[in-house]
Amino acid sequence: MTTIDPAELRERSEPLSGDDPAPAAKPSMVKILRSHVWSFAAVVILQVVGALAGLAPLLAVVELARTMLAPGPVDEGHVWNVVIAGAAGLFLRLLFTAASSGIGHVLDGKVQLTFRRQLAAQLGRVPIGWFSRRRTGELAKVVGEDVSAVHPFIAHTPGELVSAFVVPLASLIYLFTIDWRLTLITLIPVFLAVALVPLMMTPKRLREQEEFDTAMGRISNSVVEFVEGISVVKAFGGSQRAHRKFLTAADGFVTIFNRWVHGISRIAAGMQLALSPPFVLLVVLIGGTTLITGGSLAPADLLPFLLLGLGLTAPVAALGHGFDEMQAAGRAVGRIREVLEVDPLPQSPHPAEPQGHRVELRDVRFAYDEDHEVLRGIDLVLEPGTVTAVVGPSGSGKSTLVQLLPRFFDPTHGSVTLGGVDLRELAGRDLYRKVSFVFQDVRLLRASVAENIALAVPQAELEDVVRAAKLANIHERILELPRGYDSVIGEDAGLSGGEAQRIAIARALLADAPVLVLDEATAFADPQTEQAVRQALATLGSDRTVLVIAHRLETIADADTVVMLESGQVVERGRPSELLAADGKFAAFWQTHRSAVAADGDLRGDESR
């Protein structure tokens, strides 16, 4: 049983209602940013201007030193002007970077909201069946973490990266105008650091990096395996083995990590040393002192190199940091795009009204992927007032077939019609009013039990809800919950799989849709649920169109028609008694099934003794 938030459901289901046939946009980061191009440009420009203004205090210090050290009386007016200019630069820096940050964060909020809205709309448009292949956790990561990961990309990194280049460039030009020789000397640390970069790219280093990535993957897989399988492993006594596998992966990782660190650390340390402030100062001081003692540089001119020289190494450091963040944001956007680019379930702009509730499948074919056709030419008519039971071996396509009726997927070929109208021509809201379903993977909302039962009929009276719950054999259990029908699922009510399925049956009974699709539970086949299914079929069967994946012999025997599937094709169909008499595939299936049920009964009997 899974619980989901009602708000989440509303967002998912609104576009499915069929009233919003507009195709899902397939946005990219670039497209979204293009619609906010001026704000984005403002973020970058303000950041750069702010960073440039930040040079003013440093230049003011240089100018002050020059003025003070110059022979003769100090020009007090000039000194004050320089101090005011420096302070103004500082103020402007604060102002511009604050404005850039403010606009950046508002823009970031807008972009994240756009992504989340588009994702929510898209999740409502994709086929419901698509969700079965996605883990809730994966989707939650895309909508939550991955959308948040664009934050540095919008609000910080581009501005910081551009400033990291523009500011040193401006400093460099200024320093060149003072003394080109000392400027080149000041650049020595940057040259050294850049010279070390190729050493990080040698085939040996790249191989070590690859090994490191693989080992990282191996260790996280073994952790996931270990945690996911912990219950099975414990129950079957294999915890030692699983634990060993995890430890082996961890040991392997340590060996590879040591090798990787050993190789990379010397180069990284060399780069860090070259770019470190003491080393930069040392180089500038040695170069500057040599030039001063040689008489070719005024002592006051050393100061700008000492102050601005430290900033010249910023681009190299920013490159590493900024590009890492950009890459992470790029990967997150890639995952968001993957979800946004799933083809939505087409909605007809001119929905048609079905006449009656006869369901017909004509030459239906379906494939989850190109190489593997799961349904191969199914022709089937489900008459109102009849129960059709689908049987067949595991993997024969039963679930896939019944999921076509509530349009979890569209057939890849052929058509499914309801009352003469192709399901693709039906408004989404109509479809769910006409077709209700109870599948094994029951979804309950984090809402009260009554609200869960009345999901399709929110205005239902409590007595109708109670009647449905009684018919579904769940009323007594609900009364045992702390707040009865007001108990909130997932908060003060924990239900077993079978109980959740009975709630779903009550929901379907109350929805009173003319077509019911039911997957009779095998996993939760407790006697109460079996009874609930039987009652539901008896109550609904009168004038409903019912399609049931039948596992119980009674359901099969009571059905009007049995359809036997094998490898995605109908191999036999007819009344159960006729098929048994014909002694074909269904009869063989029935015999095997009966023996299995009898053996299961014996086993249960033994267990209870």
Ligand X SMILES: Nc1ncnc2c1ncn2[C@@H]1O[C@H](COP(=O)(O)OP(=O)(O)OP(=O)(O)O)[C@@H](O)[C@H]1O
Q: How far is the CB of 374 from ligand X (least distance, A)?
A: 4
SS3 461: coil
The string over 309-333, giving b where at least 16 C-beta atoms fall within 10 Å of a residue's C-beta and e elsewhere, is bbbbbbbbebeeebeebeeebeebb
Q: Total number of residues binding ligand X (CB under 6 A)? A: 12
Q: How far is the CB of 395 from ligand X (least distance, A)?
A: 4
Of the pair 198, 395, the CB lying nearest ligand X is at: 395
Stretch that binds ligand X, among 104-112, 149-157, 396-404, 553-561 (CB under 6 A): 396-404
Binding mask 429-448 for ligand X (x = CB under 6 A): --------------------
Asked whether position 368 contacts ligand X by CB under 6 A, the answer is yes
Asked whether position 127 contacts ligand X by CB under 6 A, the answer is no
Torsion of CA 369, 375, 376, 382, to 10 degrees: -150
DSSP state of 425: G
Asked whether position 400 contacts ligand X by CB under 6 A, the answer is yes
Of the pair 351, 568, the CB lying nearest ligand X is at: 568
Among 396, 448, 529, 545, binds ligand X (CB under 6 A): 396
Asked whether position 592 contacts ligand X by CB under 6 A, the answer is no
SS3 574: strand
Stretch that binds ligand X, among 58-66, 135-143, 391-399, 505-513 (CB under 6 A): 391-399
Asked if 510 and 436 touch (Cβ cutoff 8 Å), the reply is no
The interaxial angle of helices 239-275 and 203-228, nearest 10 deg, is 140
Amino acid at 59: L
Among 275, 374, 378, 495, binds ligand X (CB under 6 A): 374
503 class by beta-carbon count within 10 Å (0-12 exposed, 13-18 middle, 19+ buried) = buried
Among 12, 36, 125, 398, binds ligand X (CB under 6 A): 398
Of the pair 392, 576, the CB lying nearest ligand X is at: 392
Of the pair 182, 546, the CB lying nearest ligand X is at: 546
Number of C-beta neighbours around residue 403 at 10 A: 20
Asked whether position 523 contacts ligand X by CB under 6 A, the answer is no
Asked whether position 395 contacts ligand X by CB under 6 A, the answer is yes
Amino acid at 517: V
Asked if 560 and 386 touch (Cβ cutoff 8 Å), the reply is yes
Distances from the Cα of 531 to the Cα of 211, 536, 593, angstroms: 57, 8, 20
- Whose structure tokens read 């009652």? 535
Asked whether position 562 contacts ligand X by CB under 6 A, the answer is no
Of the pair 133, 204, the CB lying nearest ligand X is at: 133
Stretch that binds ligand X, among 183-191, 295-303, 389-397, 599-607 (CB under 6 A): 389-397
How many whole angstroms separate alpha carbon 419 and alpha carbon 358?
5
Please count the CA atoms within 13 angstroms of the CA of 33 that sit on its side-chain side.
16
- Considering only CA atoms, which of 405, 142, 187 is closest in space to residue 283? 187
Q: How far is the CB of 444 from ligand X (least distance, A)?
A: 21
| Pair of tokens at residue 246 | 């995890």
Asked if 482 and 401 touch (Cβ cutoff 8 Å), the reply is no
Among 189, 392, 411, 514, binds ligand X (CB under 6 A): 392
Asked whether position 47 contacts ligand X by CB under 6 A, the answer is no
Among 3, 163, 313, 399, binds ligand X (CB under 6 A): 399
Binding mask 257-296 for ligand X (x = CB under 6 A): ----------------------------------------
Among 54, 152, 189, 397, binds ligand X (CB under 6 A): 397
Number of C-beta neighbours around residue 286 at 10 A: 12
Stretch that binds ligand X, among 139-147, 212-220, 349-357, 388-396 (CB under 6 A): 388-396
Residues paired with 369 in a beta bridge = 372
Distances from the Cα of 133 to the Cα of 130, 137, 224, angstroms: 6, 12, 18
Asked if 586 and 390 touch (Cβ cutoff 8 Å), the reply is no
Asked whether position 394 contacts ligand X by CB under 6 A, the answer is yes
Q: How far is the CB of 132 from ligand X (least distance, A)?
A: 5
Among 132, 177, 289, 327, binds ligand X (CB under 6 A): 132
Residues that bind ligand X (CB under 6 A): 132-133, 368, 374, 392, 394-400
